[in-house]
């Protein structure tokens, strides 16, 4: 594993889960990837933090396959908010994006969402 991958992986492992939100927030999922390097490449191809997207761990959601890196749009909240984001990304040409509810795993104790892209402040999660 390269140094950058190791650093990003450690940030993900030690970052906070989605438990800062309601027990089942909705997200607009732009891409999923099993491999961290490929996930980072997709993240940058979609515009990176400038586009307001983040990478989270699927392990924080009990209703998702384990051990995936999920690239999501910046908005996490209601189904209608996720739907608005979905329309924006579809208009940008990301036609395989979709919305999904995340049933948060509540056995981890942190205060912030698990963003590994360093854009928490941009979204107002301080």
Q: What is the pLDDT of residues 25-77, one digit of tens each?
A: 999 999 999 999 999 999 999 998 888 899 989 998 999 999 999 999 976 78
The 3-state DSSP composition of the chain as helix, strand, coil percent (nearest 5) reads 40, 20, 40
| pLDDT 10s digits, 82-100 | 999 999 999 999 999 999 9
pLDDT above 50 (res 125) = no
The tally of domains found in the chain comes to 1
| pLDDT 10s digits, 101-123 | 999 886 554 444 555 555 444 44
State the greatest distance between any 2 C-alpha atoms of the chain, in Å, as a whole number.
39
Its domain, for residue 113, covers 3-123
DSSP state of 104: B
With residue 42 as reference, give the H or E element that holds it.
helix 36-45
> Tokens for 101?
């509810």
pTM: 0.69
């Amino acid at each position: 594993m390269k140094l950058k991958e190791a650093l990003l992986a450690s940030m993900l492992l030690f970052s906070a889960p989605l438990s800062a939100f309601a027990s089942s927030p909705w997200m607009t999922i732009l891409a999923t990837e099993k491999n961290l390097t490929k996930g980072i490449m997709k993240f940058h191809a979609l515009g990176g933090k400038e586009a307001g997207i983040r990478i989270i761990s699927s392990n924080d959601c009990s209703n998702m396959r384990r051990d995936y890196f999920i690239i999501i749009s910046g908005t996490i909240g209601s189904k209608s908010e996720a739907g608005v984001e979905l329309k924006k990304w579809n208009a940008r040409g990301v036609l395989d994006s979709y919305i999904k509810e995340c049933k948060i795993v509540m056995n981890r104790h942190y205060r912030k969402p698990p963003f590994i892209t360093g854009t928490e402040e941009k979204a107002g999660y301080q």
